[in-house]
Amino acid sequence: MGQKHSKEEHSVQVVNIKRREESLNVYPDSIVNPPDRPVSSAVDSSSPTKAEATKVSDNMIEVVAGDVSDFTDGETKEVDVAEQKVLLVKEDGQFYAIGNKCSHYGAPLNKGAYCKGVVRCPWHGACFNIKTGDIEDFPGLDSVPKFPVEIRDGKVVIKADQAALASAKRVKPMVKKAADNNKSVVLIGGGPANVVCAETLRQEGFTGKIVIVSKENCLPYDRIKLSKAMSIKPEEIALRSHQFYDEHDIEILLSKEVTKVLPEDKKIELNDGSELKYDSLVIATGGQPRQLPIPGSDLKNVYSLRTPHDANSIAENAQGKNVVIMGSSFIGLEVANFMVGKAATVTVIGQSAVPLSHVFGPHIGQWFGKMHESKGVKFYFETSVKEFNGEDGQLKEAVLANGTVLPADVCIMGVGVVPATGFLKESGIELTARGFVTVNKNMKTNIEDVYAAGDIVEFPLFTADGQQVNIQHWQMAHQHGRIAGLSIAGKPQDIRSVPYFWTVQYGKSIRYTGYGFGYDDIVLHGDVEENKFVAYYTKNDQVVAVASLGWDPIVSQAAELMSKGGTISKEEIKEQPDSWVSRLKSY
């Protein structure tokens, strides 16, 4: 199986997991134990520098972070400033200081991936400019504060505005609507793509009218929390407040559904019979739950999960009940995680032999299954629900294709989504056979002044040689919105974001970057059973995706390398999982 290497006393397993059904029973017997050292010198593993703050004005303080000679180029350092954390970076002989908390969920940036000019969050891959603090890749909406740095008598001095220091987030300056600008941008859909697009337009100087049209009855929210915290209220996860949208002249129409797009007239029609004219249009309507023609699926307590109302209703009605979950992918497993300890029983029905094997491979997929089983979740694999039975209109049991009858008070159908693009069929906008909108590298459709973004699009992925792909990731939707906004503002940029996602189950967060579709091998280092591993997915002897648990920030480092056009060969990570990381310094 694995070979021994005397220098590091590691073994390595290259798992040949071909994309064929017969390969699903291939499991590695040995894997590489992780080294007991940091994976990169770019990661600040030292204790934070604590410096006494001196007040220089009512709002400003300053601290001495150390002697200039204490720092080397390419070094990042966390500095305590009045009990707040600041990231100090020396680059090309210059010092820069920005807030050390990622504006998304507060991860420490000094533990992330530093590459010339930027630092990438270790948890979810958001990327910040070290000179300005501006957010350049997502998730998250806000930048981080920046702080002036001076060199005095050989000392590195950080000056900080106390309000900026305390907030840890910074909204980029935005213009307001001007009375003499009659241009109008209409954004269909209330997800992150259109929120970012609207903010980008204001940040880039667009002073016309901006209208977001959403069929939901609440402000845009952090949708990915719905399967992880199902009792949460929409106002608790709103991306922005009513006050924010009002302050920046961004109009939001709630509970309005677009029924028709008429590009020749540059207008849209709504379900209440009204019309909206536009000069530029962005379509980002996301997905809608796939509906399966299962007898009894109209019974009460058979759910799809898409909105806060869905999540709240499921959480309320599942207490102490028998819960059946259709689908063993991300939504299904995250819902199972939430239900453990709340429902009487939790049962997951999956058509695959191993959960999530299509993404992570069978070995890591098997680990997911075992983790859930250890919490009391029961699985039925390679089968499906044939019908639902009920009494007085209420769900009572689920009958599987293999004949098994399960008690079921609540069922969640987590069987994927389809693009919500049915209203575009007669618009002239180019759709794929599966209903996705085709866009170019600037998020433009085939119709002038019409753009699309988020889960509904197929776009050219630069890390896949420009192949048109559909990627339904929270992070990618943000970047789509930014690119669309820049295009409308007359400052076009090509989409060059590297896919990045994560799943959190039972307190364990697996991160993933890249585009692994069609991978032919997996090189796995670490010990999956010990919850510490990094997996490299390779195609034609090149790494196309990386996943890890307990090995931060290697996924963020891989994302940063890929974003710079760098590659990782299969050969170089066979023996050492992190030999390539030092190349980040060369960009």
Q: Is there a common fold for 184-288+419-488 and 302-415?
A: yes
Instruction: Label residue 587 by pLDDT band (50, 70, 90).
Output: confident
Q: What is the structure's pLDDT at 104?
A: 97
How far, in Å, CA of 195 to CA of 502, rounded? Answer: 21
Determine how many CB atoms are found less than 10 A away from the CB of residue 302. 22
How far, in Å, CA of 278 to CA of 267, rounded? Answer: 6
Any idea which residue has 């109009």 for tokens?
251
Q: What is the structure's pLDDT at 54?
A: 82
How far, in Å, CA of 182 to CA of 475, rounded? Answer: 32
Q: In terms of C-beta density within 10 A (0-12 exposed, 13-18 middle, 19 or more buried), how is residue 493 classed? A: exposed
Q: What is the structure's pLDDT at 13?
A: 54
How far, in Å, CA of 442 to CA of 187, rounded? Answer: 16
Backbone angles phi, psi at 278, to 5 degrees: -140, 155
Domain ranges, ordered by start, for the chain: 3-41+498-586, 49-167, 184-288+419-488, 302-415
Whether the predicted pLDDT of 474 surpasses 70: yes
Whether the predicted pLDDT of 18 surpasses 50: no
For residues 8-26, average pLDDT: 37
Q: What is the structure's pLDDT at 102?
A: 98
For residues 401-419, average pLDDT: 97
Report the phi/psi class of residue 437: left, alpha or beta, with left for phi > 0 and alpha for psi in -120 to 50: beta
Whether the predicted pLDDT of 9 surpasses 80: no
Give all strands of the β-sheet with 322-326 in edge-to-edge order: 302-303, 410-413, 322-326, 345-350, 378-381
Q: What is the structure's pLDDT at 375?
A: 98
How far, in Å, CA of 447 to CA of 427, rounded? Answer: 9
Q: What is the structure's pLDDT at 55?
A: 79
Residue 41 vs residues 44, 112, 130, 144, 527: alpha-carbon distances, Å: 7, 11, 18, 24, 23
For residues 560-575, average pLDDT: 96
Q: Which fold has domain 49-167?
A: Rieske Iron-sulfur Protein (2.102.10)
Q: What is the structure's pLDDT at 56?
A: 76
pLDDT tens sequence across 20-73: 333 322 323 233 333 333 334 355 656 667 667 787 788 999 999 999 999 999
How far, in Å, CA of 555 to CA of 124, rounded? Answer: 9
Structure-token pair, residue 384: 């499906």
Instruction: Label residue 549 by pLDDT band (50, 70, 90).
Output: very high
Q: Which fold has domain 3-41+498-586?
A: Enolase-like; domain 1 (3.30.390)
Provide the CB-side half-sphere exposure for 387 (13 A, CA): 5
How far, in Å, CA of 153 to CA of 141, rounded? Answer: 38
Whether the predicted pLDDT of 386 surpasses 70: yes
Q: Which of 77-86, 272-281, 445-454, 475-484 is predicted with the least confidence, judged by mean pLDDT?
A: 77-86
pLDDT tens sequence across 489-514: 999 999 999 999 999 999 999 999 99
Whether the predicted pLDDT of 6 surpasses 90: no
Instruction: Label residue 537 by pLDDT band (50, 70, 90).
Output: very high
Instruction: Label residue 81 by pLDDT band (50, 70, 90).
Output: very high
Q: What is the structure's pLDDT at 44?
A: 65
Q: Which of 158-167, 396-405, 560-569 is predicted with the least confidence, judged by mean pLDDT?
A: 158-167
Whether the predicted pLDDT of 252 surpasses 50: yes
How far, in Å, CA of 44 to CA of 46, rounded? Answer: 6
For residues 545-549, average pLDDT: 99
pLDDT tens sequence across 283-316: 999 999 999 999 999 999 999 999 999 999 999 9
Whether the predicted pLDDT of 127 surpasses 90: yes
pLDDT tens sequence across 338-378: 999 999 999 999 999 999 999 999 999 999 999 999 999 99
Write down the mean pLDDT value for the chain: 92
Q: How far is CA 555 from the centre of its chain?
A: 13
Q: Which fold has domain 184-288+419-488?
A: FAD/NAD(P)-binding domain (3.50.50)
Q: Which of 7-16, 135-144, 189-198 is predicted with the least confidence, judged by mean pLDDT?
A: 7-16
Q: Which fold has domain 302-415?
A: FAD/NAD(P)-binding domain (3.50.50)
Q: What is the structure's pLDDT at 2?
A: 33
Q: What is the structure's pLDDT at 58?
A: 80
Q: What is the structure's pLDDT at 47?
A: 62
pTM: 0.91
Any idea which residue has 């890390």 for tokens?
463
Whether the predicted pLDDT of 15 surpasses 80: no
How far, in Å, CA of 161 to CA of 145, rounded? Answer: 9
